[in-house]
Structure 1
Amino acid sequence: MKHKLRRQILTLIQGTVIAQLLPIIIAPILTRIYTPEQFGILAIYMAVISVLTPIVNARYELAISLPKQERNALALYVLTIKINLVVTGIATLIVLIFKNNIIQIFSLEDGVWILLLPIGLFLTGVINSFTYINNRMERFNYLAKSKVYQASSMVFMQLGLGILKFGSFGLVIGYIVGQCLAILNLNRKLSINQKITEEKIDKELILKVSKEYNEFPKYAMITHSMESFSAQTPSFFLTKFFGAATAGYYSLTNRTVNMPLSLVGKAVGDVFLSNASKVYREYGECKRIYVKTAKVLAMIPIIPFIILFIWGEELFGIVFGDEWKIAGTYMKILIPAIYLQFIANPLSHMFIIAKKIKLDLVIQIIIFILSISAFLVGNFIFKSTEVSLSLFSSVLCLKYLIFIIISFNLAKGNESGYGNNK
């Protein structure tokens, strides 16, 4: 189990690292082609997609790893696709009817990106469905390759459209093209339609699994929507209070530091979910896997973070241009939160494994309120971007410390009062 876990983690990390090298290499070129305001538009687009992502599949995709019978897992997959189609249809109508209102909410002049929201939302839902079915089948090689295809196609498209002066539209189109390439790879040799036909997945079974795992739309969907909104609070409130350019500076920090680490963390989390859920089902605890995974997560970012904390502003100015030096300041403010996030997020799968989604919801509601409060206080009392981000970073540190403590107790199962022992 130990060597298998390490091999699976390394497979996904290798794919993720390769996937992120190219965007980081290309980023200094993109920052000289696109303006901070244009990056701010992309940040808002991705933030809206992120907040709506938990709704698009009603979070049923998280349950795909849980059933003992393959047939039930396939039924959950079909359910996620059907829900995705309905939600995307509703989103399309909302965008078409309320386009101007949405533009006014964000105080933006460029509204073309809004018309592309339903497309990005649908593709995100499909990627999530494919990711979890691939995870269940332990197709970690395909998961790793999909990250490479998505990242590389995205940056090359953004680079080409940037040279052709497509502006923020080019950044968004590049993002969508990357999603399409990821889906094509995740579906390769999966034969999902054949499996669905062979297992005779019918409406009755789909209805059955929807009821059996209804805690996911009831609790996980709301929980993760709040979590996503809390995480995307900077993009929304920086744009509203301080302008799209400020959101663009923040987005560069997110693009070059937080996103690569998040993808590495997600790769580790995918393996952790697959292995820990199996062990937990059998033994009622998964403490050893939890501790091993936590140690790996704690060690990975230490050296890069020390370098960035000491020389962050200078490095951002040299690499991305003097105009982007302020992004290095934002990055230094957020480093403690990013580090704890890297450790906590993959391990927070314990809330799903131990079926403690209600507990997760309570925590997310509190953090949701505190995150919004951080920016309201930072803007209306201090009128400062740096203070707003500092308060937000403190809220995130509190959140991830709580997650680490509780998820560890859940992993202990029989040893604590938290576990879902069977």
Structure 2
Amino acid sequence: MTITLEYVKKLMGWCPNTGAFEGRQYSDIGKIELDTLDDIRGRNGDLRSEPKKTSFITNILKLVSGNITAQILSIIFVFLAVKIYNPEYIGISHLILSISSILMIFSTFSYQFAIMLPKTEEDSANLACLCTILVTLTSLITALILLFFPKYVDYLLNSPEISNYLIYIPAIIFFNGIFLTQNYWLSRKTSFGVIAGSKVINSVSTGVLQLAIPIWNVSPLGLIVGYIVGYGNADFFMLKDIREDLRIFKKVSLKRVKEIAIQYKDFPLFNSSSTLTNTISLQIPTILLGHYYGTSIVGYFFLANQILNIPLGFLGAAIEQVFFQKISAVKNGNESGGMKDIVEEVYKKLILIGVFPTLLFLILGKEIFTFIYGESWYISGIYIKILVPWIFLVFISQPISSLYMVFDKQGVWFTFSITLLISRVIALVIGGTYGSPEFALGLFSFTGVLFWIWNNSYLLNLAGINKIKSAKIFLKCVTISIIVLLPLILLKVFSVSFYIILLAVVLMTPIYYGITLHDDPTFKRMFSALLCGVKNKI
């Protein structure tokens, strides 16, 4: 059995919040990707595989390639969208999505995380059907509630137009819930190519509609409808691959669905609670900024947060999805390798990848936004400098946060999440009451930095990794980044043309990654696999 997780966060999700592998074979314990027939050992589903080292890298490449394509498209569409929609419209749509994100936690009660865990595909299929039933019921109940209390939500959020768009929240919940369910089913099958493709479909559909609808009417509706249709198209795309498994889903029974719901009750009891609190922690800035400062400030915040999460958040989510599949398979004895070595290797790569863009945003965040989006969006550039330290710490810990599940530490994760939520609410209320949006976001980011430092330390200790060694890797990367970026800093100090500064960034980026990754064996395998893939396509 292979197991994986996309956590979006939510966790997950992520982000969560993406073609099946060739050469797939079937066994009684699951549909597992096998590189060759020689990987099959035993009979009656007794699997003893020794996957090639490159399979882990190949899976990451499949997800990362899909994520990169999807996010490049997202960057283009966001750039075009801010030329059409003003900050207020973007703020309204983001408020709708923030409310939907919180309600989405109830749509599956976190049972989607359990889809990869059963030893039989029949039980996994029952879990998938359970998720589908819960998603449908949650969407219907939400629709009924919003029909009776739209003005009350409008009053709480201090947005005079928000009630006009609340009716779209049930559709957002439904299509996102189905997307999550199919994502985890396909992850169990290691169909990472299909998952990657769904993300591209999502980005293209969303972006095209968000740019096309304003031809008739410029309003938040274009952003909201584009988002809904994007996930709907992604759902239909993944459904084509799942149709191959109809023979499994025909064995689903209501009795077994009830039994499986009880068997995995810890997921709604602990995971749903912790995921809910973590999601509220992520969405609370949008809600409270809207309450204290209005939807325009929400629009500025959304753009800053979106641009940061595109290069860092989604790459981390892709690595997490394959990472959890790998360590879970190792723990179950289905794959060889040491868990500590895997965690240490992934954590090191995350630091190497994340440090450089973090420092780059700290130095040029405001200038980048002004140059790309215009003077009217310079406030987002200020916000990005405030948020980037927190985003970096989330980036390096998000992929390995699935260790909470592997080691059955959901209770610790819940305690961490609820404490973080309370601290963030306090920080934002204090900032919103006594200061500017910058002050409120500063307190929010500082709180996140403190908590995610603790989270990193706890996870490293859980995996038995030397924290001093990890700290040395971090300091080494920071030192190299500062040295590489020193000419860039001097160019900024002497007010050189921003075009020259951008050219310097283009030149310095490969220099940094060349220095830090040139002797890394994993990077060499990834680079070789990527070159082989390109060569085969040519």
**Fold similarity call, TM over 0.5:** yes
Report SS of the residue matched to 2:240. coil
Cα displacement (A) at 1:195: 3.3
User: Amino acid of the residue matched to residue 324 of structure 2?
Assistant: L
Distance in 1 separating the partners of 2:246 and 2:76: 40
Cα displacement (A) at 1:284: 11
Counterpart of 1:296 in structure 2 is 349
1:57–1:81 CA contact under 8 A, matched in 2: yes
Correspondences of 1:88-237 after superposition (within 5 Å): 88-110=139-161, 111-191=163-243, 194-198=246-250, 200-237=251-288
1:333 aligns with 2:386: yes
User: Amino acid of the residue matched to residue 238 of structure 2?
Assistant: L
Counterpart of 2:377 in structure 1 is 324
1:285–1:411 CA contact under 8 A, matched in 2: no
Report SS of the residue matched to 1:138. coil
Cα displacement (A) at 1:192: 6.0
Distance in 2 separating the partners of 1:166 and 1:271: 40
Single out whichever of 77-86 and 20-29 deviates more from structure 2: 20-29
Single out whichever of 400-409 and 268-277 deviates more from structure 2: 400-409
User: Amino acid of the residue matched to residue 228 of structure 1?
Assistant: T
2:105–2:276 CA contact under 8 A, matched in 1: yes
Give the direction of change, closer, same or farther, for the CA distance of 1:197–1:222 in structure 2 (3 Å limit): closer
1:233–1:372 CA contact under 8 A, matched in 2: yes
Unaligned 5+ segments in structure 1 are 414-422
Give the direction of change, closer, same or farther, for the CA distance of 1:369–1:197 in structure 2 (3 Å limit): closer
Counterpart of 1:416 in structure 2 is none
Q: Deviations over 1:115-164 (max 9, x none)?
A: 10000011111011001001000000001111111011111111111333
Counterpart of 1:13 in structure 2 is 64
Cα displacement (A) at 1:3: 1.8
Single out whichever of 291-300 and 44-53 deviates more from structure 2: 291-300
Q: 1:268 aligns with which of 298, 319, 322?
A: 319
Distance in 2 separating the partners of 1:296 and 1:52: 34
1:287–1:408 CA contact under 8 A, matched in 2: no
Q: 1:358 aligns with which of 407, 411, 431?
A: 411
Give the direction of change, closer, same or farther, for the CA distance of 1:281–1:402 in structure 2 (3 Å limit): farther
Number of matched residues?
411
Distance in 2 separating the partners of 1:202 and 1:192: 19
Counterpart of 1:42 in structure 2 is 93
Cα displacement (A) at 1:193: 5.9
Report SS of the residue matched to 2:252. coil
Report SS of the residue matched to 2:159. coil
Correspondences of 1:272-287 after superposition (within 5 Å): 272-282=323-333, 286-287=339-340
Give the direction of change, closer, same or farther, for the CA distance of 1:94–1:146 in structure 2 (3 Å limit): same
Give the direction of change, closer, same or farther, for the CA distance of 1:285–1:84 in structure 2 (3 Å limit): farther
Give the direction of change, closer, same or farther, for the CA distance of 1:249–1:161 in structure 2 (3 Å limit): same
Q: Deviations over 1:316-367 (max 9, x none)?
A: 0111111100100000001100111111112111112222111111111110
Cα displacement (A) at 1:312: 1.1
Distance in 2 separating the partners of 1:227 and 1:143: 24
Distance in 2 separating the partners of 1:410 and 1:73: 28
Distance in 2 separating the partners of 1:412 and 1:209: 33
Cα displacement (A) at 1:223: 0.7
**Higher-helix-fraction structure:** 1
Cα displacement (A) at 1:252: 0.4
Report SS of the residue matched to 1:232. helix
Distance in 1 separating the partners of 2:75 and 2:453: 29
Q: Deviations over 1:390-420 (max 9, x none)?
A: 111111112222222222333349xxxxxxx
Report SS of the residue matched to 2:160. coil
Correspondences of 1:402-421 after superposition (within 5 Å): 402-412=454-464
Q: 1:388 aligns with which of 413, 434, 440?
A: 440
Cα displacement (A) at 1:280: 1.8
Single out whichever of 399-408 and 132-141 deviates more from structure 2: 399-408
Q: Give the superposed CA RMSD.
A: 1.7
Q: Deviations over 1:247-290 (max 9, x none)?
A: 00000012222244222211111111211111122399722221
Single out whichever of 394-403 and 108-117 deviates more from structure 2: 394-403
1:31–1:321 CA contact under 8 A, matched in 2: no
Distance in 1 separating the partners of 2:228 and 2:311: 18
Single out whichever of 276-285 and 36-45 deviates more from structure 2: 276-285
Cα displacement (A) at 1:77: 0.7
Distance in 2 separating the partners of 1:197 and 1:334: 44
Single out whichever of 170-179 and 344-353 deviates more from structure 2: 344-353
1:377 aligns with 2:410: no
Q: Deviations over 1:156-192 (max 9, x none)?
A: 1111113333311101011111101211122122226
Q: TM-score, normalised by structure 2?
A: 0.74
Cα displacement (A) at 1:241: 0.3
User: Amino acid of the residue matched to residue 365 of structure 2?
Assistant: G
Counterpart of 2:128 in structure 1 is 77
Seq. identity, % = 29
Give the direction of change, closer, same or farther, for the CA distance of 1:195–1:352 in structure 2 (3 Å limit): farther
The higher radius of gyration belongs to: 2
1:285–1:412 CA contact under 8 A, matched in 2: no
Cα displacement (A) at 1:207: 1.6
1:30–1:162 CA contact under 8 A, matched in 2: no
Distance in 2 separating the partners of 1:169 and 1:374: 32
Distance in 2 separating the partners of 1:301 and 1:403: 17
Give the direction of change, closer, same or farther, for the CA distance of 1:374–1:152 in structure 2 (3 Å limit): same
1:34–1:167 CA contact under 8 A, matched in 2: yes
Distance in 2 separating the partners of 1:311 and 1:179: 33
Q: 1:51 aligns with which of 69, 79, 102?
A: 102
